[in-house]
Amino acid sequence: MANRYFQDGAAINLNGPFVSSTNLHVNLSDPNASAFNGTGATGTGVVNDYDGDTRGTPPDIGADEFILLTCSAANGGTITNGKCLFACNLCHV
């Protein structure tokens, strides 16, 4: 859960879900990735990420726009390393 003490309502206090300190792509298997997905500020004038990918609305937090892997089962959840969390049975990318 994000720590919002002494911060504005949009702030999060989590480690960035990066692949490494030199590869700032989002590691989709990192459990913190979902907190960065679609929670960035709109109206900044930044329409592309650092790879040239078009920003979503709302954009992802950070320099990399990414597509979070999701489950298609009725109980929702996300997938990590090809496995479903939250007892999701039908996953897709």
Q: Rounded CA gap, 84 and 76, in Å?
A: 9
How many other CB atoms sit within 10 Å of the CB of residue 74? 8
Categorize the per-residue pLDDT at 62 as very low, low, confident or very high, splitting at 50, 70 and 90. Answer: confident
pLDDT for position 5: 56
Give the start-to-end residue ranges of the domains of the chain: 1-67
pLDDT at 92 over 60: no
> Do the Cβ atoms of 71 and 77 come closer than 8 Å?
yes
Q: Rounded CA gap, 25 and 33, in Å?
A: 11
Least confident of 15-19, 60-64, 83-87: 83-87
Question: Dihedrals φ, ψ of 16, to 5°?
Answer: -65, 135
Residues 4-61: tens digit of each pLDDT: 456 677 778 888 899 998 988 888 888 888 889 999 988 999 999 989 999 999 999 8
pLDDT at 64 over 70: yes
pLDDT at 85 over 50: no
